[in-house]
């Protein structure tokens, strides 16, 4: 067990960040890294040389190297479900069989895209992508980040069961020229199946002759899609070992590939593959996802219950929502992979927003509140909009100023105007936001999540915590025995008439 290392981490003397910079002149070079066109600066965290060494020893004790090898070799890293985690195979870095299968399925996806582009589905102008959680957050992030100037199909995303969401999603789509993509790993998810039914009715109501013929299913359970009336030529499969929140690289990315074009989709995979290679081969102290996980663990041990991510780039405004699922659904657990309570903080709550908007709304608490929130700033050195360069200069200056202000603080005789400083932050600076760097960025977050899980000894690839609520919703819908229902829930149901 790694008790000795955890103890050393907990009892490590706390030095202020600005003191750390003075004490360690080479601090910036040791805690900043460049991988796949992305600069990562973790020097404004409280990691010092000794802590990194202790964490590296801790990771050895926790069997990090073997766990990482198992991930890339297709070993069973999701023991509760008896599955490997094959998202790395989608970008060519997994077990040879899994890589071959992923590549064959990608070719099928490409063939379908070619057929759509070649007119096999008649005139197509739009795509309605239906899915929820991991079956939508990734593709939506990709299209919002990279598709703003794209000339590809107009892709709209629909996830919520709320009919308002449906109305909004189809608002500017023409049913006569829209294809529907229903993405669901299990093909049992209530929201997705209900929205798929609504989409078929929407097509039929507009006079589309064969609504099912305009439906593409993406799933790890093709038999369920066929049973739902979708012809197998329009069913794109992915492996059961690809977790929903890790699935954007697979056929789940079909809508993004339609919006962005095939070349961009491949560049995305290449960027992720580059980060895979870094994570797989870099030594602990230079391994960016692992070092980031060291800082995550340090602050979680010190009682930080949240971590905030601010995208200083409008194109990445969906990144915090994407990371919420990735990190909270993966590591929001309280028992180890073998079922033992691990008695320490697991994943913090991930939250965030966009800069500079967030500065005028929530940063007050970051600078002067009583809770400590490690903040992460994500930005791109180059802009890609039509406005004057000054916009981007101001945007970046603001991002960097926040990190500096949080770290240095500023004393004042007036307590209201005093900034304590010593508040940690990390900065991720892309040279430019393109498919390759976005692929590497997302893969960085995936591997950081995995590294956190290994340090904690938890399985990041299952999510049983979401099941109970689904089950109770079903039971309520089926008419539970009134006598067993608690008074609060019963009153709510009566009031709402459901
Ligand atoms: O309820 C949680 C969850 O299972 C996520 O893990 C998943 O990404 C989402 O629902 C959607 O599941 P599916 O792709 O099977 O429809």
Which CATH number do you get for residue 225?
3.40.50.10490
Taking the CA atoms of residue 182, residue 188, residue 194 and residue 196 in that order, the dihedral angle to the nearest 10 degrees is 20
Confidence (pLDDT) at 149: 86
pLDDT in tens, 252-269: 999 999 999 999 999 999
Give the chain's domain count: 3
Looking at the fold, whether 261 and 339 belong to one and the same domain comes out as no
CB 356 within 8 Å of CB 396: no
CA dist., res. 422 & res. 87, Å (int): 38
Looking at the fold, whether 128 and 253 belong to one and the same domain comes out as yes
Looking at the fold, whether 258 and 342 belong to one and the same domain comes out as no
Task: Give pairs for 206-215: CB < 8 Å, separation 24+.
Answer: 206/175, 206/176, 207/176, 208/175, 208/176, 213/121, 214/121, 214/178, 214/179, 214/180, 215/179, 215/180, 215/181, 215/182
CA dist., res. 245 & res. 351, Å (int): 17
Least confident among 74-88, 331-345, 393-407: 331-345
pLDDT in tens, 356-371: 999 999 999 999 999 9
Residue 277 domain flag: no
Q: Is 185 in the pocket of ligand 1 (CB under 6 A)?
A: yes
pLDDT in tens, 43-66: 999 999 999 999 999 999 999 999
* Dist. CA 130 → ligand 1 center (Å): 12
Instruction: Collapse the DSSP code of 167 into the 3-class scheme (helix H, G, I; strand E, B; otherwise coil) and give the result.
Output: helix
232 is catalytic: no
Q: Is the pLDDT of residue 481 over 90?
A: no
Q: Is the pLDDT of residue 1 over 70?
A: no
Residue 38 domain flag: yes
- Beta-sheet strands, E only, within 203-260: 215-219, 235-237
Looking at the fold, whether 448 and 327 belong to one and the same domain comes out as yes
Identified catalytic residue from 360, 390, 482, 494: 360
Looking at the fold, whether 66 and 93 belong to one and the same domain comes out as no
Looking at the fold, whether 244 and 115 belong to one and the same domain comes out as yes
Looking at the fold, whether 123 and 207 belong to one and the same domain comes out as yes
Q: Which residue minimizes the CA distance to atom 5 of ligand 1? A: 133
CB 140 within 8 Å of CB 158: no
Encoding tokens for residue 75?
Answer: 């070993």
CA dist., res. 167 & res. 188, Å (int): 23
Confidence (pLDDT) at 2: 83
Residue 324 domain flag: yes
* Dist. CA 122 → ligand 1 center (Å): 32
Looking at the fold, whether 360 and 297 belong to one and the same domain comes out as yes
Averaged confidence pLDDT in the chain: 96
Best CA proximity match to 451, nearest among 320, 305, 279: 279
Q: Is the pLDDT of residue 354 over 80?
A: yes
pLDDT band at 480 (very low <50, low <70, confident <90, very high): confident
pLDDT in tens, 153-170: 999 999 999 999 999 999
Looking at the fold, whether 351 and 402 belong to one and the same domain comes out as yes
Least confident among 411-425, 440-454, 473-487: 473-487
Looking at the fold, whether 257 and 302 belong to one and the same domain comes out as no
Q: Is 243 in the pocket of ligand 1 (CB under 6 A)?
A: no
Instruction: Collapse the DSSP code of 423 into the 3-class scheme (helix H, G, I; strand E, B; otherwise coil) and give the result.
Output: coil
* The ligand 1 atom nearest the CA atom of 134: 8
pLDDT band at 106 (very low <50, low <70, confident <90, very high): very high
Provide the 8-state DSSP code for 212: G
* The ligand 1 atom nearest the CA atom of 186: 15
CA dist., res. 125 & res. 121, Å (int): 11
Confidence (pLDDT) at 151: 78
Q: Is 278 in the pocket of ligand 1 (CB under 6 A)?
A: no
- Give the angle 167-142-392 at the CA atoms, nearest 5°: 105
Looking at the fold, whether 34 and 141 belong to one and the same domain comes out as no
Per the structure, the complete domain to which residue 10 belongs is given by 3-81+282-464
Encoding tokens for residue 142?
Answer: 């990709």
CA dist., res. 31 & res. 12, Å (int): 18
Looking at the fold, whether 297 and 371 belong to one and the same domain comes out as yes
Residue 272 domain flag: no
Given 266, 295, 314, which residue is the final one in a domain? 266
470 is catalytic: yes
329 is catalytic: yes
Percent pLDDT > 70 in the chain is 100
Q: Is 409 in the pocket of ligand 1 (CB under 6 A)?
A: no
Best CA proximity match to 331, nearest among 316, 350, 317, 318: 350
């Amino acid at each position: 067990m790694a008790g000795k290392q955890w103890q050393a981490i907990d009892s490590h003397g706390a030095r202020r960040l600005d003191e750390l910079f003075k004490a360690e002149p080479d601090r910036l070079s040791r805690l900043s890294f460049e991988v796949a066109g992305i600069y990562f600066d973790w020097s404004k965290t409280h990691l010092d040389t000794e802590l990194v060494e202790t964490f590296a020893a801790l990771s050895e004790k926790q069997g990090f190297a073997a766990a990482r090898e198992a991930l890339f070799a297709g070993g069973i890293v999701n023991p509760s479900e008896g599955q490997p985690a094959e998202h790395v195979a989608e970008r060519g870095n997994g077990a040879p069989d899994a890589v071959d299968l992923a590549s064959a399925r990608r070719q099928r996806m490409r063939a379908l895209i070619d057929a759509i582009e070649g007119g096999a589905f008649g005139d197509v102008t739009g795509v309605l992508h239906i899915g929820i959680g991991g079956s939508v957050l990734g593709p939506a992030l990709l299209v919002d980040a990279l598709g703003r100037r794209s000339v590809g199909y107009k892709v709209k995303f629909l996830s919520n069961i709320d009919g308002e969401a449906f109305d909004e999603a189809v608002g500017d789509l023409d049913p006569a020229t829209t294809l529907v993509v229903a993405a669901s790993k299990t093909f049992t998810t209530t929201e997705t199946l209900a929205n798929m039914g609504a989409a078929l009715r929407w097509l039929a109501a507009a006079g589309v002759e064969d609504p099912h013929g305009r439906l593409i299913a993406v799933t790890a359970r093709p038999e369920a899609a066929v049973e739902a009336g979708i012809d197998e030529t329009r069913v794109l499969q992915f492996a059961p070992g690809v977790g929903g929140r890790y699935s954007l690289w697979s056929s789940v990315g079909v809508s993004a590939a339609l919006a962005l074009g095939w070349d961009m989709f491949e560049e995305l995979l290449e960027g992720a593959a580059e980060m895979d290679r870094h994570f797989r081969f870099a030594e602990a102290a230079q391994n960016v996802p692992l070092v980031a996980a060291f800082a995550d663990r340090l602050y979680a041990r010190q009682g930080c219950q949240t971590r905030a991510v601010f995208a200083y780039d409008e194109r990445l405004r969906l990144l915090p929502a994407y990371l919420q699922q990735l990190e909270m659904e993966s590591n929001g657990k309280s028992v180890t992979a073998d079922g033992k309570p691990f008695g320490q903080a697991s994943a913090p709550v991930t939250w965030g927003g966009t800069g500079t908007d967030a500065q005028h709304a929530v940063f007050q608490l970051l600078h002067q509140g009583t809770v400590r929130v490690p903040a992460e700033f994500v930005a791109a050195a180059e802009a890609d909009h039509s406005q004057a360069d000054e916009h981007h200069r101001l945007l970046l200056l603001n991002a960097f100023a926040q990190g500096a202000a949080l770290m240095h603080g500023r004393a004042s005789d007036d307590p209201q105007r005093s900034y304590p400083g010593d508040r940690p932050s990390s900065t991720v600076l892309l040279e430019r936001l393109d498919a390759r760097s976005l692929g590497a960025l997302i893969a960085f977050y995936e591997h950081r999540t995995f590294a956190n899980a290994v340090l904690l000894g938890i399985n990041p690839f299952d999510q049983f915590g979401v099941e109970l609520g689904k089950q109770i919703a079903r039971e309520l819908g089926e008419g539970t025995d009134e006598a067993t229902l608690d008074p609060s829930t019963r009153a709510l149901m009566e009031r709402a008439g459901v």
